[in-house]
Amino acid sequence: MFLVRLAAGVSALAALWVLSGCGNIAPPGSNPVGPVGNESLKSDESLAFSRSGLLPRLPNIYLLDDENGLRTVGKPGKNDVKPLWSPDGSQLIYQKAYGWESDYFLLDVASWHTRQLTADGFYKYLPRWSPDGVRLAYLSANEPGDPSHKSDFLNVVEISNGESRSFPFERVLDYRWRPGGQALLAVSRSGDTTSLQEITLSGIKTRRDIDVGYLDGSIAVSLSPDASRVAYALPDSDPDALADSLYIAALDSAGGSKVGGYAIDSSMAWSPDGSSLAFVSFGDEYRYALFVVNADESGYKELLVLDTADESGEILPGAPAWSPDGQKIAISSFSSLAGSAIFILSADGSEIRQVTQPGGLIYGIVWKPE
């Protein structure tokens, strides 16, 4: 669905561009996302992200840091997306997509050598490194249909030799590595029933004795890094509502309290220590905006208005990415007719910097670990 919507959105944006400002595109020199400076990265800031041209072009992976500037990973125009740093920052995996089919590739940053990590061509999503960086977990489906609502396998691949194990599920809503990297905890759904399953690397599944029935019917689920809390969205009671209801709960509780709205194609991300949640939803005048709220449900705040430059809804809003220390958030937003730029803001919204020149569509931003 993402690639279909992205292709349609790029075509829609190209048409809007030709028409010189129709729709929600701001004129050159205006600043639709708020007061920002055109400042460079600081010495401790290093990012990876995907970027494609405004005209229908395949995306590439870029690395950006204060020392080396902007670099491209791999060959241009190969539809490379979804970068993810290893825990020590020495390696980067990314996804090479072919329609619904895709595989992971691994970049060793020191040698700049790339090798293919998987070769089955199944649709893949939500990769997560083990804490020690020895393994990579990801979800896959050989017949994706609507992959946002069904996953067939939870997979674990050995980085050293590419050996892979697959654990079948009817559907996985989210998962996390357990401490030590020898097991995973998955929020899974069978029929209409949601449960917690712990899976060892040998394939043994154990259902955890925690009632997570409050997640039944949820349309989005995100476990905190230590899997002690969960953020989830439930359909709004008003079928015409533009945003559904977003909640945060302790995983072993009877459910949480509403902390905001969750619009279609929204995104959410926990801070590294799990103390805060950043998410994208509708703000004033039904414009996408970046919000933050504390895990204890306090401190709700709108940080930044986002511009998708497209009233059709075909271009997705940016997704938030937390810095390793949890003090900053990076996100993309349109800033001119040239396209998106990356903005870095403090977690309390007190400082906002534009760190790239606008250009193309930017998504999948990730910070390099310190």
pLDDT at 282 over 50: yes
Separation in Å, CA 82 to CA 93, 106, 221, 255, 344: 8, 12, 19, 32, 19
In a domain, 233, yes or no: no
Amino acid sitting at position 233? A
Expressed as residue numbers, the domain containing 356 is: 1-74+265-273+301-370
Binned at pLDDT 50, 70 and 90, residue 312 comes out as low
Binned at pLDDT 50, 70 and 90, residue 66 comes out as confident
pLDDT tens-digit profile of 83-108? 999 999 999 999 998 777 899 999 99
In a domain, 223, yes or no: no
Binned at pLDDT 50, 70 and 90, residue 34 comes out as very low
Q: What is the mean pLDDT of residues 1-8?
A: 33
In a domain, 58, yes or no: yes
Residue 32: half-sphere exposure toward Cβ, Cα within 13 Å: 23
Q: What is the mean pLDDT of residues 306-325?
A: 79
Query: Chain centroid to CA 234: how far?
Result: 19
Report the range of poorest mean pLDDT among 86-95, 139-148, 178-187.
Answer: 139-148
Which DSSP category does 284 fall into? G
Q: Do 316 and 8 contact (CB within 8 A), yes or no?
A: no
Total domains in the fold of the chain: 1
The stretches of the chain forming alpha helices (DSSP H) are: 2-18
In a domain, 188, yes or no: no
| Exposure string for 112-146, b = 16+ CB within 10 A, e = fewer | eebeebbeeebbbbbbbbbeebebbbbbbbeebee
Q: What is the mean pLDDT of residues 62-72?
A: 88
pLDDT of amino acid 144: 67
Q: Do 103 and 117 contact (CB within 8 A), yes or no?
A: yes
In a domain, 257, yes or no: no
| Strand order from edge to edge, sheet including 135-141 | 123-129, 135-141, 153-158, 164-168
In a domain, 149, yes or no: no
Report the range of poorest mean pLDDT among 53-62, 208-217, 317-326.
Answer: 53-62
In a domain, 334, yes or no: yes
The rounded distance, in Å, linking the Cα atoms of 92 and 95 is 10
pLDDT at 121 over 80: yes
Q: Give the residue carrying structure tokens 């906002």.
A: 352
The per-residue pLDDT of the chain, averaged, comes to: 84
Report the residue count for the chain.
Answer: 370
CA nearest neighbour of 330 among 310, 354, 294? 354
Which DSSP category does 26 fall into? P
In the chain the first and final C-alpha atoms are separated, in Å, by 34
pLDDT tens-digit profile of 195-234? 999 999 999 999 999 999 999 999 999 999 999 999 999 9
In a domain, 369, yes or no: yes
Separation in Å, CA 27 to CA 54, 57, 284, 285: 16, 23, 21, 19
Separation in Å, CA 25 to CA 11, 12, 22, 142, 305: 15, 12, 7, 38, 14
pLDDT at 335 over 70: yes
pLDDT tens-digit profile of 299-309? 999 999 888 76
pLDDT of amino acid 314: 57
